[in-house]
Structure formats: C-alpha cells, structure tokens
Amino acid sequence: MNEPLPVTFPSPLTAFAEHRSVRFFQATPLAPGDLDLIVEAGRRAPTDAQGHMYSLVRITDAALRDRLATLCADQQHIRDAAEFFVVCLDVHRLRQLVEYRDGEWGMGGRIALIYGTSDATMVAQNMVVAAETLGYGTCYIGAVQNNTDRIARELNLPAGVLPLYGLCIGVIDREKLPPLRPRLPRELCFFENRYTAGYTDAELELAYETMSVKRDWYQSIGAYFARGGTMEKREPVMARAWRQQHLEPETVE
C-alpha cells in the first residue's frame, strides 16, 4: 500500500474526523424525530445472508437503567445520556422463522457468535455515525461484558440472544468535550495482498509513540489485555453467559 497522505475529510464526512467517545451529556432529550432517524439508519445496515441477527433494547425505565449502569462499572454517563441501548446478537428470532416453515435449525454456536456479533455491530455503528452527523455524542459501553449473564436476565433475553455492549447517545456537554484521540499508524493495520507478520521493534515503538498521549499507552492496553487485566476477568463471565443463553460453541472432533 502506498505511503498514506494526511487526510482531510470533506464536509459530508466530518463526523468521522470528529469522532470521540463522549461521557458527559446534558440533561436534554434528542430533538423530535432524531431518534427515528438514528434507528432507521441502523436498520439499513448490511446483514449477512439476510439474517438480521441482532436486536437492540432501548432502556427507558430509569430504575432499570440505574441497575444496568451499576452492573457496567457504575458508569454515570449511562444514566445521563438521553438514550441508552443494549446491543445484542440475536439468533432467537431467526431460529423461530426457520422452524415456522418446518426447517431444521442448523446454525451452531460458533457461527452464531461470529455472524450475530458482526450484524449487531454494523447496526450500532450506523447509528453512531447517524447520531454524530446530527450533532450528538455517543459512547459504546464494553462494560456490559463485566456482567453479561446478569444483564441478560435483567432484560429477559431468551436463548439465542446475547448482550454485546451498550450504546449511549445524547446531547454533548461541550464544556467537558474530550480531545480527539490518536489512531494507530495506517501502515501497521492496512496491508496489500499479504499480511506482514512479525512487527519490528521500530514499528512497535512507533505504535507506542503514536498512542501515548497523556500517559504511556501500555498502561491502558496492559490493564485490559495483560495477565490479570479486564479481558481475562471477563472470560469466565462470557463463558457463563454463553451457556445460559444456549450459545456455547460445541466441541468439534
């Protein structure tokens, strides 16, 4: 791939240039009609094999939203945002549709997890782009995975439906607007024809240099991905949730 040039987004694409996770919202609802626009943008997202393997649960009950915020590392912006959704992969509905026409369900856990996650994520990201184009702030909530099994029970999710993450949408408190964060150098993530394996020390140092703004980037990724970090702690939670929601991958001989 050619050496990347600095990119300036034209005006219709400025939402991409200005994207940041917003965690401080005004106590203001979305403008009339905007929620419908955002939801419809989500519904127009691509879906694999016409399966529509997603569902979103909009949380309007204040007490329920408070409980979910507590389960999601007690994040106050979940309570403050004008809108909060729990984004779920969903093969429950698809299975019912197949069996309604006397088909035998043939999707296993591994494929359900991959395809349902990708379908749900494309819908959520369409909603993010639409919301930010309309001038709102958004924030994904990965901490849903801290208590996936408990949140599934809170939302009465049937077998085949799994919470993936949350999505806050709201009116930005511009006095607390966070700065734009850097992104990894393009040449470390985008390849041409073949993956270039085995990053050099210079490339790894470039990644750290680029991403270390307020503090050394390892403090962030180490807290999540190193031994004893957040992701290791989420592993048994997700395993319980997979079993509970009947999505655990089967053993393949």
pLDDT in tens, 150-178: 999 999 999 999 999 999 999 999 999 99
Tens digit of each residue's pLDDT (9 = 90 or more) over 32-76: 999 999 999 999 999 999 999 999 999 999 999 999 999 999 999
Instruction: Look at residue 3 and tell me if it is in a domain.
Output: no
In one letter, which amino acid is 185?
Answer: P
pLDDT of residue 204: 96
Secondary structure class of 56 (helix, strand, coil): strand
- From its phi and psi, is residue 33 left (phi > 0), alpha (psi between -120 and 50) or beta? left
Instruction: Look at residue 134 and tell me if it is in a domain.
Output: yes
Instruction: Look at residue 160 and tell me if it is in a domain.
Output: yes
Tens digit of each residue's pLDDT (9 = 90 or more) over 175-188: 999 999 999 999 99
Instruction: Look at residue 211 and tell me if it is in a domain.
Output: no
Instruction: Look at residue 86 and tell me if it is in a domain.
Output: yes
> What is the number of structural domains in the chain?
1
Q: CATH number for the domain including 118?
A: 3.40.109.10
C-beta neighbour count of 132 within 10 angstroms: 21
Instruction: Look at residue 70 and tell me if it is in a domain.
Output: yes
Instruction: Look at residue 1 and tell me if it is in a domain.
Output: no
Question: pTM of the full predicted structure?
Answer: 0.93
Query: 69 to each of 74, 79, 136, 164, 167, how far by Cα in Å?
Result: 5, 7, 20, 15, 12
Tens digit of each residue's pLDDT (9 = 90 or more) over 193-216: 999 888 999 999 999 999 999 899
For 90, the domain range is: 11-180
Instruction: Look at residue 203 and tell me if it is in a domain.
Output: no
